[in-house]
Amino acid sequence: MHEKTDTITIRVPESLKKKIEELSVKNNLNLNLQINQIISKNIHWDEHVVQMGWLQFDPAAIREIFKYLNEDAINSIATSIRKDIVKSIKFIYGDASFEHTIEFINSWLTFTNIPFRHSKETDSHKFLVTHNLGENWSRFAVKVSEEFITDLGFKIVNITLDKMSYGFTIRV
């Protein structure tokens, strides 16, 4: 079922309109859908990221940093930030229910432009993520996911990882 929509009219500078039109062509989306995605990303993710003080890094910097980390350092970092991720989920959604945790992971991956596939099964959600950040990034992403998902009382199973991807399944 789709949410009821409404119409608004806005005025924007011609240069901004042109950029949005170019973006919609590039993304093969109609202008309305492109504008909705921009607004949705800002309201559902960007605003929270700013309020939480999160930073964005160039993938080359992440790749360079993570290539020097050993497994103990990766595990230590993942363990130390798990509470911050739980706080972030609660900050954005008001609680850390299973549904909100899944929505958070989807938003995080979607709005940071990380290619992924999410499939829902009867009692679980499976994520497969691809990237070009190296095996240590996969180890970190899996470990931090395992830490905060377990901390919330959910189960993470069927973990896979390699140099270019990682995956896992989450169960209640």
What string of pLDDT tens digits covers the 172 residues of the chain?
578 888 889 898 999 999 989 988 988 989 998 888 888 877 777 777 777 676 677 889 999 999 999 999 999 999 999 999 999 999 989 999 999 999 999 988 987 888 999 999 989 999 999 999 999 999 999 999 999 999 999 999 999 999 999 999 999 8
130, containing H or E segment: strand 124-130
For the chain, give every domain's residue range. 1-55, 57-171
Q: Does domain 57-171 have CATH number 3.30.1380.20?
A: yes
> Own/partner pairs for 107-112, CB < 8 Å, 24+ apart?
107/44, 107/45, 108/45, 110/45, 111/41, 111/44, 111/45, 111/46, 112/56
